[in-house]
Amino acid sequence: MKLLVALAAVLLLSYRPASVTERPDFERFFTEKKLKGSFLLYDPQRDHYTAYNFERTRQRFLPASTYKILNTLIGLETGILKDENSVMKWDSVKRSNENWNRDHTLETAYKVSCLPCYQELARKIGLKRMQEWVAKTGYGQMDITAENLDKFWVVGTSTISQEEQVDFLRRIHDSKVPFAKKNLAILKKIMLIDESPTAKLYGKTGWAVTSNLNIGWFVGYVEKGDKVYYFATNVESPEPAPDTFIPARRQITEAILKQLGI
């Protein structure tokens, strides 16, 4: 018993939570776009968070289209999708987003955030497999039922925080999730948004409306040389959303990353 107590004490002393730097000055990036929200960056090299509105980064919201990251991995792991060139057929239903009214490959469906494409993927995965893979991955707090299988990430009570988004992305990057490395490599290929000679930007946006509140996401990571930085931005606005809402998710994030030299 004494040995167990001693070991517990050693473990407790050796554990150090990540440090946090609060940046209230980042508020201006949000107010310029007429939005409220929060920003979280994790630097694993220093085990350090940089945050604006840090307490809010622990609040949970619908994941919206950021769930396409995990949905893609489950589709690949179950064999429904083979690679980034897998065809996702249009169901011939005309929708207001013209980008959705055609056949897609996995890569193009991800790039234009084709909701009906991923809804069909969810139906093919099925309730039992979806629940099992989400549980094994430890992704947020998803409420998945037979009734909401093809929309639980955009409506309902499923939630995830910015802190959890960052943790999920880190585990993906470090191959600490229950998916084959080849499938993680395919995901990484389609997640690439932009690159320069010195850095690569990977990510996914999202948008959900709940209780007359628009919730927007931009999550991802930057590879800069041999270093990597994980980020999650969340913005909100009452209905109707301002014209700045859609582009602001990335614009706010990239402005902050540039100011941080990332």
- Per-residue pLDDT reduced to its tens digit, 4-56: 444 444 333 334 578 999 999 999 999 999 999 999 999 999 999 999 999 99
Give the distance, in angstroms, between the CA of residue 251 and the centroid of all CA atoms in the same chain.
Answer: 16
pLDDT digits (tens, 9 = 90+) for 72-82: 999 999 999 99
d(CA 36, CA 74): 33
SS3 218: strand
Residue keyed to tokens 């350090």: 48
Spell out the domains of the chain, with CATH numbers in brackets. 17-259 (3.40.710.10)
Q: Which of 38, 65, 113, 161 is catalytic?
A: 65
Averaged over 109-115, what is the pLDDT?
Answer: 98
d(CA 51, CA 145): 34
Q: Residue 211 — very low, low, confident or very high, per pLDDT cuts 50/70/90?
A: confident
To the query of whether residue 65 is one of the catalytic residues in this protein, the response is yes
Residue 73 · residue 110 · CB < 8 Å: no
The conformation of residue 164, written as its DSSP 8-state character, comes to H
